[in-house]
Amino acid sequence: MKISRFHIFLVLLILSSNSFAKERIAIGGFNGINPDEKYDNYSIALAISGGGARGLSTIGILKAFEEKNINVASIAGVSMGGIIGGLYASGYTPAELEEIISQLAFDSLFSNSPERKTMFLTQREEQGRHLFSIRFDNWKPIIPKELTKGQKITSLLTSLTTKANYKSGANFDKLPIPFRTSATDIISGKEIILDNGSLADAMRATMAFPLAFSPVEKDGYLLMDGGMLTPIPVELVRSISDTVNFVVAINTTSNLLTGDELRNPIDIANQVTTIMSADRLKAQLSQADYIITPPIEKFESSDFDNKDSIISIGYAIGLQSADSIKNIIKSRTLNKSYFIKSVRCNNFSDSTRTFIQKYFSNREITRNHLIGFLKKYYKENDLFEFSAELEPVTQAEITNAGYNLIFSFIPKISLTEYDFELQGNFIYSDSQLMEQFHFTQTNLIPRALNQGYKMINDFYKSEGYDLASVKETKIDVINKKIIIIIDEAIIVGIDVENNERSHDWFIRSYFPLEKGEPYSTKKASQGMANIYGTDLFNQVSLSLNRSPNGSIVKIGVVEKKYQQIRLGWHWDDEYKSEEFIEFLDDNVLGMGLEYLIHNRFAIDRQNIYGVFRANRLWSTYLTAEIKLSYNSLDRQIYDKSGEELYISKESKTGFAISLGQQIERFGTVTGTLNFEKNKYRVPSPEQSSKFDLRTFSIASSVDNLDRVPFTHKGTRNYAEFQTAGKFLGGDKEYSRFNLLMEIFLPVGNYLNYHPKLLVGLSSGLPGSEQFYLGGIHSFYGFRTFQLSGDKYLMFSNELRLKLPYNVYFSFRHDLGDVYTHTDEIKTRNLRSGVGFMLALDSPIGPFEFAYGIADKDIERYYINIGLDF
């Protein structure tokens, strides 16, 4: 076959183009059929229902389909089916989906609170003290309409789908597998088909079950669970493609619950949805070619703890169904006939064109016959790629139905004649990227080129640039070049959307990526967590869009209302019932500034203060605080034997100003000037006093505890040096050093080891400033504040065992004492205390019951209910 240079130029192709005819069959090339392998095209369109945890069986079915060589050509899913289907369409394998599911803690996905590690230390100190908070919109209380805002799921789906969403140009047809999902607009009651935009938002919308999750706002719609109107999207998946029309429906919808199983409002909403959608489910299933209903009747939609069993059941039913599906497809598709009305041959010689046109015109052929011809011609002419497109003839062209058959080819490419040219790479040089290719033959082999592309993508990913990839390849036969175009996903813009009070710059200051950098999913995910960690937003979303010059990051936020009231309460055996109320605004001027008024009231303790705080000053990591306060305390004083002596009445009125530096999100270094008027009253007038206290302190705090209370792992260190003197204008002079070091070490899943060290050194401290030991969390056997002195030393060891139903049992040994003089500190004089505790982690805080004994004869029982504040 003679091929002119001019004809070759006419077949210059963009090999990675995503534009295809109605049906295209290619041999060789980058994505074509291997001419040396047997080809069976068992392609299906897959419709997947919801069902919560029951829907995880779809992962097993997909695994079975891959093993049986059943090709999923298009997917439509709703609710959980939208999640599984969307991830599979994005390119995740069933094994990867299993791995993702195995690592998820499903209970934590319903949490609305930011993780501690995403918050600055100054924020954490204010969290976890209150029983509940009420936010207000112009002082009208806001009542939550859902169990969770779903931020953790949004963040997870965003990190998993950004790459596929970016490469597809936010067009779901151009995902590795074309995909559709739907959601219900709860304003109009209409079904909304989602086929473009943010894939993460589409998946989040279709699974937003009423009462459980908040709706997703998109294009004026308020979107929730797609399964309410379309329980299984059979009709929708048929609309994706004209070429694959064999629809397999996976039905994992929930069964009706019994009366005893209706335990909460979400169960009731699920029951109502199941009843109301029953007719629609039957109607959709009647349009499917094959229905798979996994035998998962004993599992409920919330049984995520049984995920492994559910996936295994799906795998078993998938294997059983695969052979039946293949037999049906074989009878329908592999022997499918095409009546050829006309034949067009692009860039063939006259004799070859005449032969092909005569052979195929006005005759009926099967798919297998066509593939056999393409393979034979490909081998005989040593081509790079040979393809045929079957284009349906429209009624306007001809009355009878039929197809136009269009043949095209790419000739073989000799690597000795062609040079490689790379474009779009700025991070790495041409030579660094070309090192990823390993060609062993003189002609260009598609598999070798594709392997090189994979190596380039992996090379970028290993350095954190996981979105950088080979965008497209062009063959320039005139200049003998193979042009490889790299997309490094360089950020050219970062836009903030839907913010009302918060400034754009303030939100961007929490996002670690900047213009000019390549996009990194890891950094972007951290940025979402940082922004949500401010606790100023109900939802944070992120999308990445291609532009002619690079990529544009769009950060979407839904702001909280910033006026709020917090209420707190606890009870212990020493100070009995204590309560507090706080009024605050945590986003003053849209810069994350906070003012707070706190009032703690109890019989023996009172604490009133007002704070104006900046966790960050502008875009820096500086932190500042101004505080006005009044404190009063009636403290029981004991002698060395533990006998009650008297009650000291202490009060302080103060003003403090602090300036510090945040250390990432696990620590601070802070300097504080404190001005106080102190009253210290005891029965003896000689020991009572009034004095002005002026102090300057430098404190360093590090805290990476994963949770408080009932910490599982992490460390906390605190060191403070404080000095008071007349040079600051006060009446007292002293220096004080205080050190706390503790660590929580998990031993397996249920046991925890917790050592703690306390050291305090000073001299001449007023009574109100002394070191105190004793109490349920301080020193077993002693009452709260029972031991006091200018110095102290204590070391404790605790073992804690987690039991079922959020119950904990712990044993602790305390060793230490308080001192007046340094020479009193001797290891042989240390006092010892041991005790055990039974605690329940409840919605209102811990319920703690403990017994301790010190020095072998000082015993005490303890009760503590609620959070510390």
State how far Cα 352 lies from the chain centre.
58
- Do 411 and 8 form a contact (C-beta atoms < 8 A)? yes
Q: Which of 77-91, 220-234, 490-504 has the lowest mean pLDDT?
A: 220-234
- Residue range 354-365: average pLDDT? 88
- pLDDT of residue 825 exceeding 70: yes
- Residue range 51-61: average pLDDT? 93
Judge if 616 and 737 occupy the same domain: yes
**How many CB atoms are closer than 10 A to CB 125?**
13
- pLDDT of residue 148 exceeding 90: no
pLDDT digit string (tens) for 660-677?
999 888 899 999 999 999
Judge if 708 and 604 occupy the same domain: yes
pLDDT digit string (tens) for 674-692?
999 999 888 887 778 899 9
Residue 119 domain flag: no
- Residue range 268-294: average pLDDT? 83
Nearest to 250 by CA among 281, 229, 204, 274: 281
Number of domains in the chain: 5
Residue 745 domain flag: yes
At residue 334 the predicted structure's pLDDT band, cuts being 50, 70 and 90, is low
> What residue spans of 426-484 are helical by DSSP H?
430-434, 446-462
pLDDT of residue 9: 34
> Which strand (E) or helix (H) includes residue 577?
strand 576-588
pLDDT of residue 623: 95
Judge if 544 and 677 occupy the same domain: no
Residue 649 domain flag: yes
| CATH number of the domain encompassing residue 454 | 3.10.20.310
Mean pLDDT of the chain: 88
Single out the residue in 533, 559, 585 at which a domain terminates. Answer: 559
Q: What are the residues facing 637 on neighbouring strands? A: 646
Would strands 132-137 and 383-392 be described as parallel, antiparallel, or unpaired? unpaired
pLDDT digit string (tens) for 572-584?
998 899 999 999 9
Domain hosting 471: range is: 419-487
| CATH number of the domain encompassing residue 226 | 3.40.1090.10
- pLDDT of residue 349 exceeding 90: no
**Stated pTM of the model:** 0.84
- pLDDT of residue 265 exceeding 90: no
Long-range contacts of 726-730 (CB under 8 A, 24+ apart): 728/673, 728/694, 728/695, 728/696, 729/675, 729/692, 729/694, 730/691, 730/692, 730/693, 730/694, 730/695
> What residue spans of 215-264 are helical by DSSP H?
234-238
Alpha-carbon span 52 to 300, nearest angstrom: 8
Judge if 424 and 548 occupy the same domain: no
In angstroms, what is the C-alpha Rg of the chain? 35
Judge if 183 and 284 occupy the same domain: yes
Q: 790: left (phi > 0), else alpha (psi -120 to 50), else beta?
A: alpha
State how far Cα 372 lies from the chain centre.
48
pLDDT of residue 515: 94
Judge if 705 and 635 occupy the same domain: yes
- Residue range 177-189: average pLDDT? 93
Judge if 705 and 675 occupy the same domain: yes
pLDDT digit string (tens) for 311-324?
999 999 999 999 99
Long-range contacts of 442-448 (CB under 8 A, 24+ apart): 442/414, 442/415, 442/416, 443/384, 443/412, 443/413, 443/414, 443/415, 444/384, 444/412, 444/413, 444/414, 444/415, 444/418, 444/482, 446/28, 446/29, 446/30, 446/32, 446/384, 446/385
Residue 643 domain flag: yes
At residue 18 the predicted structure's pLDDT band, cuts being 50, 70 and 90, is very low
Judge if 271 and 361 occupy the same domain: no
| CATH number of the domain encompassing residue 620 | 2.40.160.50
The three-class DSSP label of residue 214 is: coil
Burial of 805 by CB count in 10 Å (0-12 exposed, 13-18 middle, 19+ buried)? Answer: exposed
The three-class DSSP label of residue 439 is: coil
Alpha-carbon span 170 to 345, nearest angstrom: 34
- Residue range 78-97: average pLDDT? 95
Would strands 43-48 and 71-77 be described as parallel, antiparallel, or unpaired? parallel
Q: 344 vs 14, which has greater pLDDT?
A: 344
Q: Which of 152-166, 270-284, 655-669, 812-826 has the lowest mean pLDDT?
A: 270-284
pLDDT digit string (tens) for 721-777?
999 988 888 889 999 999 999 999 999 999 999 999 999 999 888 888 899 999 999
**How many CB atoms are closer than 10 A to CB 352?**
18
Strongest mean pLDDT among 91-100, 142-151, 223-232: 91-100
Residues of the chain with pLDDT > 90: what percent?
A: 54
Judge if 664 and 520 occupy the same domain: no
Alpha-carbon span 100 to 616, nearest angstrom: 35
Alpha-carbon span 357 to 339, nearest angstrom: 13
Judge if 285 and 269 occupy the same domain: yes
Residue 127 domain flag: no
At residue 262 the predicted structure's pLDDT band, cuts being 50, 70 and 90, is low
- Do 450 and 438 form a contact (C-beta atoms < 8 A)? no
Single out the residue in 380, 411, 442 at which a domain terminates. Answer: 411
pLDDT digit string (tens) for 421-441?
999 888 889 988 888 888 777
pLDDT of residue 735: 94
At residue 184 the predicted structure's pLDDT band, cuts being 50, 70 and 90, is very high
Which residue do the tokens 């088909």 mark? 193
Judge if 371 and 242 occupy the same domain: no
pLDDT digit string (tens) for 437-482?
887 777 887 778 888 888 998 899 888 888 998 888 888 878 888 8
Burial of 289 by CB count in 10 Å (0-12 exposed, 13-18 middle, 19+ buried)? Answer: middle
pLDDT of residue 756: 98
Residues of the chain with pLDDT > 70: what percent?
A: 94
Q: Which of 230-234, 393-397, 504-508, 633-637 has the lowest mean pLDDT?
A: 393-397
Single out the residue in 559, 576, 594 at which a domain terminates. Answer: 559
Judge if 500 and 628 occupy the same domain: no
pLDDT of residue 39: 65
Nearest to 201 by CA among 178, 230, 221: 221
